[in-house]
Amino acid sequence: MLSRSAAAAPVKRRAPARVLPGFKITLGYTLMYLCLIVLIPLSALVFKTFTLTWDQFWDAVTGPRVMASYRLTFGASLIAALVNVVFGLLVAWVLVRYQFFGKKIVDALVDLPFALPTAVAGISLTALLAGNGWVGQYLEPMGIQLAFNANGIVIALIFIGLPFVVRTVQPVLEDAEKELEEAATCLGASRWQTFTRVIFPSIAPALLTGFAMAFARAIGEYGSVIFIAGNMPMISEITPLIIIGKLEQYDYAGATAVATVMLVISFILLLVINGLQTWQRRHSGAPV
């Protein structure tokens, strides 16, 4: 028989096998990769900006053309993101709730802006909407000009931002409990009441996340916009083009100053997106 002390001795549990190496090694590789790919290039951008005095920096980031580009870039990005919230929700709703011929093709086409080079998208939209294009040749005689102005920029940003909303909302709609909708209908709720009081509260966090992602993506877009914008100073000149123009004029400090402003804004948007995603996980009951 085993002694009482031996029986009471704790049983050692074997540590679970790990696929990846230990924490210290993986953390070291993570920090090294992060520094080489992200932190060092961004720090070089900031350090180059520090070569300017405060007055030079302020003049570089608040010049008339730069301010006009800010208004156009952020205004067009906001409009495009709002449009994508509405139509992205409609596309996601159709893909989740209905069965129709060619559904898989439509579902694949949603991801086309992800795979399509942005320059190709810009050229295609220009060929379609320009005055001699397939669509523009009929609209321009009526006084509707969609290319080489702010309208073309918004259309391009809608094109590249739509998948972010669709792919963010679609899984939430798929996981939605249809029993709640049926219960609301049995209690006499109209379709609009069911949507606004049952469905919308559950998908609102995903919609906000998709809006923030589409907005952030549109702010930094260059390739698809440059061909259809017209690039007229004070009218249709986006902020990334201002940065490229300063680089071509060998004004590296001025270019990095404007880029630093965009970097700070992008970082703030990233924090907002992460906050919205955390809220969405808490709202859905998933582990944070």
The answer to whether residue 201 sits within a structural domain is yes
212-246 pLDDT, tens digit per residue, is 889 988 988 888 898 888 888 888 889 999 999 88
Statement to judge: residues 42 and 169 lie in one domain: no
Statement to judge: residues 188 and 147 lie in one domain: yes
* Lowest mean per-residue pLDDT among 96-105, 136-145, 194-203, 248-257: 194-203
73-115 pLDDT, tens digit per residue, is 999 999 999 999 999 999 999 998 888 898 899 999 998 888 8
Model pTM score: 0.80
Statement to judge: residues 114 and 30 lie in one domain: no
pLDDT band at 49 (very low <50, low <70, confident <90, very high): confident
277: domain CATH number? 1.10.3720.10
Statement to judge: residues 153 and 22 lie in one domain: no
| pLDDT for residue 159 | 92
d(CA 194, CA 46): 50
Statement to judge: residues 41 and 113 lie in one domain: no
The answer to whether residue 22 sits within a structural domain is yes
Task: Provide the number of structural domains found in the chain.
Answer: 2
d(CA 262, CA 70): 9
The answer to whether residue 81 sits within a structural domain is yes
162-203 pLDDT, tens digit per residue, is 999 999 999 888 887 777 777 777 777 777 877 777 778 888
The range of the structural domain enclosing residue 278 comes to 53-284
The answer to whether residue 269 sits within a structural domain is yes
Statement to judge: residues 176 and 224 lie in one domain: yes
Statement to judge: residues 134 and 215 lie in one domain: yes
The answer to whether residue 12 sits within a structural domain is no
The answer to whether residue 3 sits within a structural domain is no
Statement to judge: residues 34 and 91 lie in one domain: no
Q: What does 151-215 look like in DSSP terms, one character per residue?
A: HHHHHHHHHHHHHHHHHHHHHHHHHS-HHHHHHHHHTT--HHHHIIIIIHHHHHHHHHHHHHHHH
